[in-house]
């Protein structure tokens, strides 16, 4: 195989690896959204703790209180699962596992080896060394791109799981907040003073 075709193969393998590395960076950048949702949820839980009371006397209020507790628990579990999924994402990727080949250094080592073992010298040894170095670098980039593609697919699955869990968590938290407001409205309708922060 000619050196030019090996150089083209190397260029294609490097582009493939660069594309997968870009996808890895896009996955990293998309983590800001779930983290913002988790931050919002901390305020939601704070509001829930501030406004929720079990002391409202009516039966309806006690039933709604049970709903608040159940939804709050479901929300906390969903958030915990989302955090676990986010934690399991590989933020480094395949690039950390081994250094990419420096072709020039490899060629120099191969020229010496070929001259010593095969008896070639000069341009012929350099040509052989260049072919071996290019072939090895192409394989390394392809292997790394494949590994990064697999990591990207796994990271995207974990990210989707985190988003689904966050969606459930936010829905349950909002439901608990609505029920907390309903409990306070029932209390006001029953003659109790309104809770601070509502009405």
Q: Rg of the Cα trace of the chain? A: 30
Instruction: Tell me the pLDDT band of 80, cut-offs 50, 70 and 90.
Output: very high
For 151-183, what is each residue's pLDDT tens digit? 889 988 999 999 999 999 999 999 998 888 888
pLDDT for 157: 92
- As a whole number of angstroms, the distance between CA 180 and CA 65 comes to 7
- Is the pLDDT at 8 greater than 50? The verdict is yes
More confident call, 2 vs 67: 67
Average pLDDT over residues 116-138: 71
pLDDT for 198: 46
- Is the pLDDT at 199 greater than 50? The verdict is no
- Is the pLDDT at 15 greater than 70? The verdict is yes
The answer to which of 27-36, 140-149, 171-180 has the lowest mean pLDDT is: 27-36
* Straight-line distance from the first to the last Cα atom of the chain, in angstroms, rounded to the nearest whole number: 81
- Is the pLDDT at 74 greater than 80? The verdict is yes
The per-residue DSSP string of 126-148 comes to: HHHHHHHHHHHHHHHHHHHHHHH
Decide: pTM greater than 0.75: no
Average pLDDT over residues 111-136: 68
- How far CA 34 is from CA of 77, 88, 165, 197, in Å, comes to 15, 14, 10, 28
More confident call, 72 vs 92: 72
Domain ranges of the chain: 3-189
The answer to which of 34-38, 49-53, 138-142 has the lowest mean pLDDT is: 49-53
């Amino acid at each position: 195989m000619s050196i030019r075709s090996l150089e083209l193969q190397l260029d294609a393998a490097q582009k493939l690896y660069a594309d997968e590395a870009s996808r890895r960076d896009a996955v990293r950048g998309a983590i800001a959204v779930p983290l913002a949702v988790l931050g919002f949820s901390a305020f939601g839980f704070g509001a829930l703790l501030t406004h929720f009371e079990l002391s409202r006397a009516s039966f309806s209020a006690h039933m709604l209180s049970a709903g608040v507790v159940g939804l709050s628990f479901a929300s906390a579990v969903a958030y915990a699962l989302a955090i676990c999924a986010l934690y399991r994402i590989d933020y480094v990727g395949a690039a950390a596992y081994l250094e990419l080949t420096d072709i020039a250094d490899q060629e120099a080592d191969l020229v010496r080896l070929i001259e010593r073992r095969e008896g070639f010298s000069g341009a012929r040894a350099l040509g052989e060394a260049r072919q071996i170095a290019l072939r090895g670098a192409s394989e390394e980039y392809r292997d790394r791109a494949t590994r990064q593609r697999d990591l990207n697919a796994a990271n995207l699955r974990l990210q989707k799981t985190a988003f689904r869990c966050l969606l459930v968590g936010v829905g349950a938290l909002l439901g608990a907040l609505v029920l907390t407001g309903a409990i306070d409205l029932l209390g006001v309708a029953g003659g109790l003073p309104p809770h601070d922060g509502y009405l």
